[in-house]
Amino acid sequence: MKSRLRIVLAQLDFMVGDLGGNAERIAAAAARARDEYAAHCIVFPELALTGYPPEDLLLRPAFAQQALAALQELSRRIRGIDVLLGLPYREGRAMYNAACLLRGGRVAARYDKHLLPNYSVFDEKRYFTPGTAPLVVDVQGVPVGVTICEDVWHPEPVAAAAGSGARLIVNLNASPYHVAKGREREEVVRQRVQECGLPLLYVNLVGGQDELVFDGASFVMDAGGRPTHRAPAFQESLLVVDLEDTAVGDVRPLPGETALSLTEEAEIYQAIVLGVRDYIEKNCFPGVVIGLSGGIDSALTLAIAVDAIGAERVEAVMMPSRFTSSMSVEDAAAQCRELGVEHHVISIEPPFQAFLDSLREEFVGTAFDTTEENIQARCRGIILMAISNKKGKMVLTTGNKSEMAVGYATLYGDMAGGFAPIKDVPKTLVYRLARYRNGLRPVIPKRVLQRPPSAELAPNQKDVDTLPPYEILDPILEMYVEQDHSPAEIVAAGFDREVVRRVVTMVDRNEYKRRQAPPGVRITRRAFGRDRRYPITSGYQEPV
């Protein structure tokens, strides 16, 4: 005789540390799954109750105590549906990354994550003790094996659940996004289900948390390795999964909702928009202010900001100098009009000249160089931060990954701000994203996409006066920064030895700048900040 099991995967956006707010969202979603969808069970992501990653909040005894108190309150409050949710669970002196089953007014079972990632952006061994025992719970007569995130990336935890009698695997995740991460996850899960011969339900967190973005994209894979359900990426979703428990003992997911896959440009753009939106909203900023130059980086940043929080909360400031072309001012103004953004023009000539006058004796006998260029950038930084202080709006910086890698940015100038939306976006990808955004609706003037990049801090200045062309620079940076190739390996791949030497030297020399940069959305496998940690003071030089 066949029977049905209905499970809801709750792909929701939780805020780190907001125990009360997260508990309310859990209770509301459970009630909706029970009353609207008649579900037997609802599954929430990893550490849903505290948000992910809580980082050193986990070292505060009161935080762990409050998390357990919130769990107990939820267990008493939610009835008529099984709830499986993640939280940090302190037992004695040990802290576990746990999944608890709430049933009948109590905590009916607990699973402790076996494999604790300690690479890339993960520091779980700093906080948690690994679990060792599998957990299989009966849900409507179906033995369900529980695993958490990293557990599914290795065969042993899933095999242990299957060996303990599970006929269905559920995996709770807080898996951050990087380019192509969704395809990578599905391939890993396909390997697991083919090894154990069981279907697997994968629920993932969604939302932005400082530098990290969680894309959701929860899915279900049947025992043959075929996806049967997929939630949309970068948005909240309650994914309803119906499973059939057959007379011969198989559990089969019935076909359900399958969201369309996104192009690479679409997924990256949506990741950045979500990361910017959540950083602004969760930190309670009323709006943002952006220095708009007429160049491609600030144009893309402005479009992202408007898509994230709406034009009415975005202010753009154009700050021309003696070196700013009329084209830049015209294109910046045209984009503001197209997007409906409030914009102002504040010349930096008076403060720039005032600084030159004040420093005349110090600079006597010296030529115009990067010093004067940086003064202009710092004049702009002061203006933007003053507007931020006076109006409470956060400054969004506009620098890209290529610039940050080689130090083509000014401390306390164009690096001054609260959040850096395209900090992890190489320059060549900036152009791709700008064209993608214009494909939705043209908002970035064509001239901005066509003109050679320039900081406009000196007469007739072009980026290629200082840097290799971005078509050459970006692949070198990808190999060195993201893939950890040696300079010699990069040269062997076909790049000029002296260009590689120069680029690598700039990257290494400018670590001090990146340490002082604002956080920004991580979209690559290896972003500056949490991902890549190199000493500022170092005598090491790798041979080229």
| Contacts with 341 (C-beta within 8 Å, 6 or more apart), sequence order | 302, 306, 311, 314, 315, 316, 335
Tokens of 94: 């040990």
Give me the sign of the Cα torsion angle 504, 508, 511, 512: negative
Question: How many whole angstroms separate alpha carbon 35 and alpha carbon 42?
Answer: 12
Peptide bond into 53 cis (omega under 30): yes
Residues whose CB falls within 8 Å of the CB of residue 523, separated by 6 or more in sequence, listed in order: 177, 178, 179, 213, 268, 271, 272, 424, 425
In the DSSP assignment, the letter for residue 8 is E
- The CA distance from 427 to 437, in Å, is 15
Containing H/E element for 332?
helix 326-339
pLDDT for 460 equals: 81
| pLDDT digits (tens), the chain, 544 positions | 467 899 999 999 999 999 999 999 999 999 999 999 999 999 999 999 999 999 999 999 999 999 999 999 999 999 999 999 999 999 999 999 999 999 999 999 999 999 999 988 999 999 999 999 999 999 999 999 999 999 999 999 999 999 999 999 999 999 999 999 999 999 999 999 999 999 999 999 999 999 999 999 999 999 999 999 999 999 999 999 999 987 667 899 999 989 989 999 999 999 999 999 999 999 999 999 999 998 999 999 999 999 999 999 999 999 999 988 888 899 999 999 999 999 999 999 999 999 999 999 999 999 999 999 999 999 999 999 999 999 999 999 999 999 999 999 999 999 999 999 999 999 999 999 999 999 999 999 999 999 888 777 778 888 888 889 999 999 999 999 999 999 999 999 999 999 999 999 999 999 999 999 999 999 999 999 888 888 888 888 888 8
Burial classification of residue 175, based on how many CB atoms lie within 10 Å of its CB (0-12 exposed, 13-18 middle, 19 or more buried) = buried
Strand order in the sheet with 288-291: 342-345, 314-318, 288-291, 394-396
Residues 6+ apart with CB under 8 A from 182: 215, 217, 233, 261, 267
The angle subtended at Cα 541 by Cα 537 and Cα 543, nearest 5°, is: 170
Q: What values do phi and psi take at 491, rounded to 5?
A: -60, -45
* Closest by Cα among 115, 94, 136, 137 to 46: 115
What pLDDT was estimated at residue 538? 85
Q: Which amino acid is at 312?
A: E
Look at residue 86 in the predicted model and tell me its pLDDT. 97
3-state class (DSSP) for residue 338: helix
pLDDT at position 284, please? 96
- Among residues 178, 212, 299, which one has the least CA distance to residue 519? 212
Residues 384, 289: contact at Cβ < 8 Å? yes
Which pTM was predicted?
A: 0.94
Residue 398 pLDDT: 96
Three-state secondary structure call for residue 224: coil
Q: What angle do CA 230, 211, 534 make, to 5 degrees?
A: 125
Q: If we measure between CA atoms, which residue out of 489, 467, 463 comes closest to residue 478? A: 489
Residue range(s) in the chain whose domain bears CATH number 3.40.50.620: 265-463
Cα–Cα distance for residue pair 444/457, rounded to 1 Å: 22
Q: Where in the chain is the domain with CATH 3.60.110.10?
A: 3-260
Q: Report helix angle 264-282 to 427-440, nearest 10.
A: 90
What is the three-class DSSP state of 381? helix
* CATH fourth-level superfamily of 265-463: HUPs (3.40.50.620)
Token pair 């406009």 is found at 456
Active-site positions? Answer: 46, 113, 149
Torsion over CA: 13, 19, 21, 23 (sign): positive
Residue range 3-260, CATH number: 3.60.110.10
β pairing state of 227-230 and 237-245: unpaired
pLDDT at 1: 44
